[in-house]
Structure 1
Amino acid sequence: MKIVKKKYQTGYSTRSLMIKEFDAILNSVNDLEEFFNGNEKVDINVIPVNSERSKNIVLTEVNKRVRSLANPVFWKLYRDGSSRDKTLILFYATCKAYQLIPDFVIDTVLPKWYNMDYELSSYDFKAFIYRISENHPEFGNFSDKNLNNISAATIKILREVGILKKNTLVKEDYNHQILNEIVSNGDSWFLEVLLLNESERQAIIGQ
């Protein structure tokens, strides 16, 4: 997967994978197809946050990630899946919506993994941002608070999906039905984001 020089979006910095929020919203949807087409609206009162402003922020963020993965099969798998399956699908959707996350994994996390350097922290993400900032002026006006927030959110997401346990990189075993659907969706690059080696990736791609 080639790192693309385009403006990165960082809207996920205020939210991680949002499992509870996705559960609440998708469980309230009667027809997923109609929801994707914009014909079924969500009652924001089902969203488990307090203020109306926060509910609207969550709904906007959920819509962004759902639209980035506008293939109903994944959301049907989500509603029927285990908590680990849900986490995997949400991580995939978040990577689709926010190129910064997979680019960080490909640029920084994978080299560490292949070199058997399994320690990862927010400092690695900050170093990645500093390294790419010359070609990405959107980070030029980042305050220390902004950088801390996006770094913490990225590390939290990797922990939620199981790639990171405390500060140690690990490789999880994921549902192959979902991985096969991801490959069929044209995103075999995502297997590398999950730290799968070439033979493991080829075994899934060849199924």
Structure 2
Amino acid sequence: MSGAKYTLSFTTGAALMHESVLVASLYAELQGWPEVRSRVMAENSFQSRTESTLKKLYGEVSRRLKHLTDDQLNLLATGTEAQKKALVWLAICRQYQFIYDFTIEVIVPQYDSARFLLTHEDYDAFFNAKAEWHDNLDSASRQTKAKARQVVFKMLRECGFVGDGNELMHQIFNEQLCQVIGKASGDLRLFLGNG
């Protein structure tokens, strides 16, 4: 996963856990993305106030979930809370190179070296280092940078990577989740204590 352009468009709604599980369940039932979109729009499945918000949220969720296999989507629809969190995180990392790289280059090494507190300074140092090579990060406004950091930390909390005090938390995986993610894919290294 290298060479991709960084985008900060993940600020739409943090992890979107509820919406992701709902869409995965519809996909398991309908077996087609156009059918899922039609159902979500017809029934306002996310209880959005406006159609434009519904379209925006569905677009974000579907872009992420299209990176998952059918087996991963089925487990996202039916699995335990821990399995759902892990699969939403996997989809986020596959959609956003920036978050993938932050996980691999900062979060995992920090956890592996027993430094269990993830700080805003850790994130800012990563962001600033990447901004030297990515003009769109370098030219982002202070407000955009702050919002991106806020959303990344919120996603990390919602997906069980950090606690309320931003302490890194070990992910406990069962064999089913390991098989569905795929030991050979290398994606298990995205999860603390499972790489």
The one of 171, 184, 187 equivalent to 2:185 is 187
Whether the aligned pair in 1 keeps the contact of 2:108 and 2:191 (CA below 8 Å) is: no
TM-score if structure 1 supplies the norm length? 0.82
Deviation at 1:39, TM superposition (A): 4.8
Whether the aligned pair in 2 keeps the contact of 1:22 and 1:62 (CA below 8 Å) is: yes
List alignment gaps of at least 5 residues for structure 2.
none
Q: Are the structure 2 counterparts of residues 9 and 67 from structure 1 closer, same or farther at C-alpha, using a change threshold of 3 Å?
A: same
Which region of structure 1 is more displaced relative to structure 2, 146-155 or 39-48? 39-48
Whether the aligned pair in 2 keeps the contact of 1:32 and 1:72 (CA below 8 Å) is: no
Deviation at 1:128, TM superposition (A): 0.5
Q: Are the structure 2 counterparts of residues 104 and 46 from structure 1 closer, same or farther at C-alpha, using a change threshold of 3 Å?
A: same
**One-letter code aligned to 2:177:** I
List alignment gaps of at least 5 residues for structure 1.
202-207
Deviation at 1:5, TM superposition (A): 3.4
CA-based RMSD: 2.1
Which region of structure 1 is more displaced relative to structure 2, 89-98 or 15-24? 15-24
Aligned counterparts of 2:177 and 2:50: Cα–Cα separation in 1: 35
| Deviation by residue 1:18-68 (Cα, 9 ceiling, x = unmatched) | 112123334445734223xx3553332111332222111101001101222
Aligned counterparts of 1:179 and 1:27: Cα–Cα separation in 2: 20
Deviation at 1:91, TM superposition (A): 0.8
Matching residue of 1:204: none
Question: 1:6-155 to 2 correspondence within 5 Å?
Answer: 6-29=4-27, 31-35=29-33, 38-40=34-36, 41-44=38-41, 45-69=44-68, 71-155=69-153
Runs of 4+ displaced beyond 4 Å: none
> SS at the partner of 1:120?
coil
Q: Are the structure 2 counterparts of residues 7 and 25 from structure 1 closer, same or farther at C-alpha, using a change threshold of 3 Å?
A: same
The one of 152, 155, 158 equivalent to 1:157 is 155
Whether the aligned pair in 2 keeps the contact of 1:118 and 1:168 (CA below 8 Å) is: yes
| Deviation by residue 1:117-167 (Cα, 9 ceiling, x = unmatched) | 211123321211101111111112211111111111111111122221121
Whether the aligned pair in 2 keeps the contact of 1:104 and 1:128 (CA below 8 Å) is: yes
| Deviation by residue 1:67-89 (Cα, 9 ceiling, x = unmatched) | 222x2111111221122211111
Aligned counterparts of 1:176 and 1:92: Cα–Cα separation in 2: 16
Please say if 1:178 is aligned against 2:177.
yes
Whether the aligned pair in 2 keeps the contact of 1:24 and 1:48 (CA below 8 Å) is: no
Q: Are the structure 2 counterparts of residues 176 and 32 from structure 1 closer, same or farther at C-alpha, using a change threshold of 3 Å?
A: farther
Aligned counterparts of 1:137 and 1:46: Cα–Cα separation in 2: 37
